[in-house]
Amino acid sequence: MAYSMSKSFCFFAILVLVASVQLITQVESVCTNVVASCLEVNCPEQCKIFGRGAKVLGSNCDFYNLCTCTFEHPAPGQPLPACDIGMGLCTDECHNECCDAKCASKYPKSGVGYCTDFHDVHYCSCLYRRR
């Protein structure tokens, strides 16, 4: 009986851990911003400048060579919602309505998506509030 109880407890503990990680992911805990073309700026330096005091958690140029910064909290002085992230390219098949749906599925509490042109890339921009 004790063996069965400990197996059940382990299963329950793992289930709680997985649920916790899912909740943390849904909390929208970091703030990202697409700030410039990586062809024009040094992305890590640009993130420090753009963040003006927000702790920079990372930077990358993976999204169509656009400098994307990740911050611990929104950069001071940014209008709400202060966070945005690219959600893919906008196409004839996936324009504003589709973009908005993608954004809302990733950030259900605050996400709003729209198509925009930025440095010659027509992409889906997702605005969200950090929770």
Candidates 123, 120, 127, 62; CA nearest to 94 is 123
Candidates 31, 33, 126, 130; CA nearest to 71 is 31
Is the dihedral angle over the CA atoms 37, 62, 88, 109 positive or is it negative?
negative
Please give the pLDDT value at position 40: 94
Please give the pLDDT value at position 28: 54
List the beta strands (DSSP E) in 46-110. Answer: 56-63, 66-71, 83-89
Candidates 113, 115, 126, 117; CA nearest to 86 is 126
Mean pLDDT, the chain cut into blocks of 10 residues (131 residues total): 47 36 47 95 97 94 96 87 93 96 96 91 93 66
Please give the pLDDT value at position 131: 66
Please give the pLDDT value at position 108: 94
Pairing outcome for strands 83-89 and 121-128: antiparallel
CA 115/CA 98 separation, integer angstroms: 9
CA 93/CA 3 separation, integer angstroms: 55
